[in-house]
C-alpha cells in the first residue's frame, strides 16, 4: 500500500487528466467540466501553503521539539523555509479537491463522502 503522501501527490495530477480523457472519449461534457473544476481546485489550493509557510516559518512537526508546537514560529519572509511546517500542501490540495467533488455532485453524496475519506487519508500522513 502506498503511503498517503505519495497518493496525495499523484492523485491531484492524474485524476483531472483521467477525467478529461474519459469525458473527451465519451463525449460527456459533465465529466470534462469536472476535470477542469478538480484541476482548478488543485491549482488554486497549491498556491496557498508555500506562501503561508514562507511568512509564518512554522517548525516542522517531525522535529524533536516536544508535544507543544503552538509557540514555534519564525515570522518573517523565508525565515523558516517553504518546505516544512504547515499547512501541508498535499492535504490542502486533497481537501480542496474533495470539497469540489462534494459540491459538484449534491445528489451523489456517496461520491462526496469517498472524496472526503480520501482527503482524510492523505491528511493522516501529517505527523
Beta carbons of 120 and 102 less than 8 angstroms apart: no
Please state, in angstroms and rounded to a whole number, the distance separating the CA atoms of residues 29 and 27.
6
Count the helices and strands in the chain (H runs, E runs).
4, 0
pLDDT digits (tens, 9 = 90+) for 12-65: 999 999 999 999 999 999 999 999 999 999 988 888 777 777 777 666 655 555
Binned at pLDDT 50, 70 and 90, residue 1 comes out as: very low
Q: Considering Cα of 39, then 40, then 46, then 49, what sign does the dihedral take?
A: negative
Q: What is the pLDDT of residue 64?
A: 54
Integer angstrom CA distances of residue 120 from 3, 20, 77, 83, 117? 13, 25, 30, 21, 5
Mean pLDDT over the full length of the chain? 81
Lowest mean per-residue pLDDT among 8-12, 94-98, 116-120: 8-12
Q: Specify the DSSP class assigned to residue 48.
A: H
pLDDT at 123 over 60: yes
| H or E, element range at 21 | helix 4-26
Q: What is the pLDDT of residue 87?
A: 67
Please state, in angstroms and rounded to a whole number, the distance separating the CA atoms of residues 101 and 90.
17
Averaged pLDDT for residues 2-15: 84
Amino acid at each position: 500500500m502506498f503511503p498517503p503522501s505519495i497518493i496525495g501527490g499523484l492523485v491531484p495530477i492524474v485524476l483531472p487528466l483521467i477525467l478529461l480523457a474519459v469525458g473527451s472519449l465519451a463525449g460527456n461534457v459533465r465529466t470534462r467540466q469536472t476535470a477542469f473544476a478538480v484541476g482548478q481546485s488543485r491549482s488554486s489550493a497549491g498556491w496557498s501553503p508555500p506562501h503561508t509557510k514562507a511568512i509564518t516559518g512554522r517548525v516542522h512537526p517531525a522535529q524533536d521539539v516536544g508535544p507543544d508546537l503552538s509557540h514555534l514560529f519564525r515570522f518573517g519572509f523565508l525565515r523558516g523555509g517553504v518546505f516544512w511546517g504547515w499547512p501541508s500542501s498535499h492535504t490542502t490540495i486533497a481537501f480542496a479537491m474533495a470539497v469540489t467533488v462534494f459540491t459538484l455532485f449534491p445528489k451523489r453524496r456517496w461520491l462526496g463522502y469517498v472524496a472526503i475519506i480520501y482527503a482524510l487519508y492523505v491528511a493522516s500522513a501529517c505527523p
